[in-house]
Amino acid sequence: MEKIHSTTVLAILHNGQVAIGADGQATMGNTVAKSNVRKIRKLSNGKVIIGFAGSTADAFSLMERFEEKLGAFGGNMKRAAIELAKDWRTDRYLRRLEAMLIAAAKDELLVLSGTGDVLEPDTGIASIGSGSMFAQSAATALKKHAPHLTAEEMVAESLHIAADICIYTNHNLIIETM
């Protein structure tokens, strides 16, 4: 059985605002399985927003673990991410999960991967998924040449640009801000 995957998730920290968005497409092989998947979730009473890419079931497992870590570490996103990454690398079950997460709080962005990486981008832009490089390129240009836009506007425009190029990304966007 083919896994459902492929997406584009983008987060931008700009002028004191953070926005994270994703398209709604899920594919099975070269077929669109669903066009309105919600890949963005608020955790920790809305203090943390995450976006996920990869196998949906795997992403939900990771999201639940991350929420547990947030609770265990008093909402400290960076500490929770590091602890999740440690578990992800060492736990036999978690190592098999095929997903990535972007976590965003009011003043920080993190990318979490199954290799145990917790990356904090220096540019204030984080992206994952099949269309991530298209969205990240657009976001980089917008931050540089259109700084008057809000983080939410930049995320929306960048995801639309990615959707115009990447066959695994659509225009059904969900964007959350903080």
Closest CA to 139 of 149, 129, 130: 149
90 as an active site residue: the answer is no
Considering the candidates 7, 8, 27, 56, report the single residue annotated as catalytic.
Answer: 7
Distance CA 102, CA 121 (A): 11
User: Measuring CA to CA, how many Å separate 45 from each of 63, 101, 105, 159, 178?
Assistant: 14, 18, 12, 26, 12
Distance CA 110, CA 132 (A): 15
Q: How many CA atoms lie within 13 A of 121 on its CB side?
A: 20
Distance CA 11, CA 9 (A): 7
CB 58 within 8 A of CB 98: yes
Radius of gyration over every alpha carbon of the chain, rounded to an integer in angstroms: 15
Kindly state the tokens that stand for 49: 């927003």
Question: Active-site positions?
Answer: 7
